[in-house]
Amino acid sequence: MARKRILTGDRPTGKLHLGHYVGSVRNRVRLQDEYECFFIVADLHTLTTRPEKEHVDALRQNVHDVVLDYLAAGIDPQKSVIYLQSAVPAVYEMNLLFEMLITVPRLQRVPSLKEMARAANLEEEAMPFGLLGYPVLQAADILMPRAHLVPVGKDNEAHVEVTREIARRFNHLYGEV
């Protein structure tokens, strides 16, 4: 029987720290023996709150650091897939298609987006579309590898619900794929 597939990952905003390790990375090391694991380095998600040049310039090094931290913590590339979000064209394609399946008012009701905007010192009226579309991009991340399980923090639970809504709408319109 095929193992269930898990997707989880991190935004490369800098080196991972002890909180990342204790909160999720050490559990990922254990999970790779039980599940087919996909670990995403979500660089496009970083741009939703950090689009400034200095953050874009730091992305290459931050991605490098996150991957090294994964390897140092024990994530084994022989057992798991580690990939860079922006390097997968299907993510862009699915994101664009999924944007057509959800309304702006629905996205505006996602509670964590307002919190993310505040944390990035953005006024609600100045929220960029990329941040508003964060849950749609996350839906593409989850559905592209056909993940069965998505371990997320409480702040992302509403995003997973948006993913379910998009998947149901897609399947209703086009049939299950």
Residue labelled with tokens 């310039």: 57
pLDDT per residue over 104-138, tens digit each? Answer: 999 999 988 888 888 888 887 888 899 999 999 99
Is the pLDDT confidence value at 144 over 90?
yes
Residue 87, pLDDT above cutoff 90: yes
The pLDDT value given to residue 125: 80
Stretch 45-54: mean pLDDT, rounded? 91
Residue 36's pLDDT band, with cuts at 50, 70 and 90, is very high
N-to-C CA span, the chain = 20
Per the structure block, which two tokens stand in for 67? Answer: 């991957």
Contact criterion met (CB below 8 Å) for 168 and 106: no
Q: What pLDDT shows up at residue 103?
A: 96
Locus of tokens 């390790």: 21
Going from the N-terminus, what domains does the chain have, and what CATH number goes with each?
Answer: 5-174 (3.40.50.620)
Q: What is the four-CA torsion angle of 60, 145, 21, 133, rounded to 10 degrees? A: 70
